[in-house]
Amino acid sequence: MDALAASPSPELSAPDFNEAIAVGRQYVEGAADGEREAAIARLFDVNYTPLLRLAALLGADDPENIVAEAFYELYRKWRKLRATDSAEAYLRSVVRNLTRMRIRHLQVARRHVDDPVESDTSAESKALLNDDQRVLISQLGRLPVRQREALVLRYWLGLREKEIADEMGISVGSVKTHTSRGLAALTSAMEARR
């Protein structure tokens, strides 16, 4: 069975991210070397949609590819993961880093292109975001990267400030600053549209 080609089950349309992490921990804890593919397939079933949302909220133009690449990296580095929490944290980290790299690449590419082409968003990505959310996401995309990451990790994924600090590699005070400034900028931008 090709674990990475599996698609998420339909009843898993919007799992709670914390529940996904708890379920993922159980799968990682029970996975021996021979069970790697099955464990990754189960992690995929549970974490695909939350990771897809994370990539989309961070501004990825191709969230499906980013999440697929994150699972590929998890597969490659499975044996190096030590702690039971490592799989979910590693996947989130890879999704964040890949999204940053793609955004930087697109910014550089757009500077060198005379007539930028509109990027197509997949039907699945469009289905994840309703009209009200699209306006918010547009404003979120205009924030500096660190503010956007702090807001997404805090308010969309529900992580605590300490978890965000660990995830972003910054202090808790910096998380508070990025979150506060990002929220203020978002609030101001949203109020200006009314």
Fold entry, domain 129-194: Arc Repressor Mutant, subunit A (1.10.10)
Q: What is the pLDDT of residue 34?
A: 60
Q: What is the pLDDT of residue 92?
A: 92
Find out whether 181 and 149 touch, Cβ atoms under 8 Å.
no
Helix (H) or strand (E) holding 4: none
Instruction: Kindly report the pTM of this predicted structure.
Output: 0.53
Q: What is the pLDDT of residue 2?
A: 38
Comma-separated ranges of CATH 1.10.10.10 domains in the chain: 129-194
Q: Chunked in runs of 10, what are the mean pLDDT values of the chain (194 residues)?
A: 37 44 50 71 91 90 92 88 75 92 77 56 62 74 90 86 90 94 86 71
**DSSP letter string, 74-139:** HHHTGGG--STTHHHHHHHHHHHHHHHHHHHHHHHHHHT-SSPPPPPPPHHHHHH--HHHHHHHHH
